[in-house]
Amino acid sequence: MTTSKTIVTGGAGFIGSHVAEHFLNKQNEVVLCDNLSRTQALDKFAKHQSYNWHYLLHNYPKVRLQQIDLRNSLALESAVKGADVIIHAAGQVAVTTSLKDPRADFEINALGTFNVLEAARRNDSTVLFCSTNKVYGENVNAIALREQRRRYNFDDLRYVDGIPESFSIDQTAHSPYGSSKLSADAYVQDYAHTYGLRTAVFRMSCIYGERQFGVEDQGWVAWFVIASLTGRPITIYGDGKQVRDVLYVKDLVSAFDRFLQSSIKHGVFNMGGGPENTLSLLELVGMIEKHTGRRPDLKHEDWRQADQKVYISDIRRVSESLGWKPTVSPSDGVARLVRWVEDNRDLFS
């Protein structure tokens, strides 16, 4: 599918800027909808608060930015007029922030997504939504685990391929963040069923890569790299054996593009590196030490509320539906991230 106008909400953020770059390289008209609030709130070590936006503008002068808040439905509707595709990557992204301010979390993630869908319905736009593995909540923690020296693994053969899309979302705690994203996730699905909108929900695990200004609360792979290279301490909550499947950002964007080129009307996909691309926190620390020759400065605190000890995406549905699979291994991807941070040290001083 070739689109003429692509809207990227959160386009000045990490994932959004990579999405924008991909479609700009395909000669699409790309408009970013971003209020730039996250850069101000989370990129606290970056000298340039709008790094990703200025990166895009420098390399792609035709890119446009509409500086709007998704909670402003009228401004959003005006910005997306005539859009063929809306890739909805904007949102409140940290569990810890949602615990402190659940109202703002709800308004940004649930109401903001509702406004995107209403604008898309008026334009008959395709919507790709960046959801999260947190929609499954603490049900994941009920799966039996096997403890090893540096990691936990699922100890239940039903989940040898990871968590499937059919995994229960009910009768469990989610955190306000997980609840707001689950609400948005359900609305995206319902707009396909009720209004015939073409939609895709990507329930993402840990996405990482260059231009990610990770902090302790969000973007842990990038945060560990940044902290290690700049001499900042890293706090590990729990024992460090928690495991996630990790996915290099360009592999994620490739899956988005494959959906748009497919004939699939609606899909829900667990999105990550899958069982072959997993890391525990301790394993990432060792990998960073191998790539940099530096041992990160670690300290330990108690487990955080609503943390999942192990989450691994079952990616068989997305692989079979879209003919897609991850191409960048964790070792290669982390090495690329290390090089980017080393080449841009002035951003973190």
The number of angstroms, rounded, from the C-alpha of 90 to the middle of its chain's C-alpha atoms is 10
Give the Å distances, CA to CA, from 334 to 13, 138, 155, 291, 337: 19, 28, 27, 8, 5
Phi, psi of 148 (to 5 degrees): -120, -175
Long-range contacts formed by 325-329: CB under 8 A, 24+ apart: 326/247, 326/248, 326/251, 326/273, 326/274, 326/276, 326/277, 327/248, 327/251, 327/254, 328/248, 328/250, 328/251, 329/277
347 neighbors 47 (Cβ within 8 angstroms) = yes
Phi, psi of 60 (to 5 degrees): -140, 80
Cα separation of 245 and 207, whole Å? 9
Token reading at 50:
């709008």
Cα separation of 250 and 15, whole Å? 9
**Burial track 201-237 (b if 16+ CB lie within 10 A, e otherwise):** bbbbbbbbbbbbbbbbebbbbbbbbbbbbeeeebebe
Counting Cβ atoms within 10 Å, is residue 80 exposed (0-12), middle (13-18) or buried (19+)? buried
Active-site residue, 55 included = no
From the list 177, 208, 248, 311, the catalytic residue is 177
Cα separation of 273 and 247, whole Å? 5
- Give catalytic residues, as residue numbers: 177
